[in-house]
Amino acid sequence: MRQGIIGYSNPAKTTGFLSLSAMGDWFIEHIEIVLVILCFFGYQYFEYQRQQNATAIVQNPQKYDFLFVDYFVLNKNSDPRHRYVPLKVLSVDQQNVTFKIGNIAHSTAVSPSQHMKFDSAMHRNFYRANTLSLSKDKIANLYNSGIIYDARRPRNIYIDGWVVLTLAELNTEK
């Protein structure tokens, strides 16, 4: 038996319960199942990474970060039907974080991409005139209880492809 001959197959690879060629044939025959399983685990990994990123942002907020909250829990005088708003970090000190409150609210907890759609953060009326100050401990408690349901840090001037900062804001000292 010569191993250099084309068409030669190693009997150890083609015999037994789990032969490589039988497994390859099964994967080819059931490619839909394999792709669905790969997509499921890929999505789970993506969600895990997104959750880790949000946790890191909440634990260490920086200027221009965005937190997405159920504002009715924070302010009972606000509209209970339209309660989900973004908060933009204006300043951070040792104990407190000051936010600009979003003026455009949703009735359900929508994704950050939905909040920022069509570059809405650039509109003149996107933020309210008043601000909100919370301690870092309070922010952590709100995140753990689900009142803060997501957090994003802009990449350059974008969140999920939508503009959220002006170039003037980007060029100011952080």
pLDDT band at 5 (very low <50, low <70, confident <90, very high): low
Residue-level pLDDT at 9: 55
Confidence of residue 26 (pLDDT cuts 50, 70, 90): confident
CA angle 53/155/48 to nearest 5° reads: 20
Q: Indicate yes or no: pTM above 0.85.
A: no
List, in sequence order, every residue forming a beta bridge with 10; answer none if it has no partner.
Answer: none
**pLDDT band for position 25 (cuts 50, 70, 90):** confident
Q: Which of 5-9, 26-30, 161-165 has the highest mean pLDDT?
A: 161-165
62: Cβ contacts below 8 Å, ≥ 6 apart: 89, 92, 153, 174
The pLDDT confidence band at residue 10, using thresholds 50, 70 and 90, is: low
Phi, psi of 69 (to 5 degrees): -130, 160
* Tens digit of each residue's pLDDT (9 = 90 or more) over 78-133: 999 999 999 999 999 999 999 999 999 999 999 999 999 988 889 888 999 999 99
CB-neighbour burial class of residue 109 (10 A; exposed 0-12, middle 13-18, buried 19+)? middle
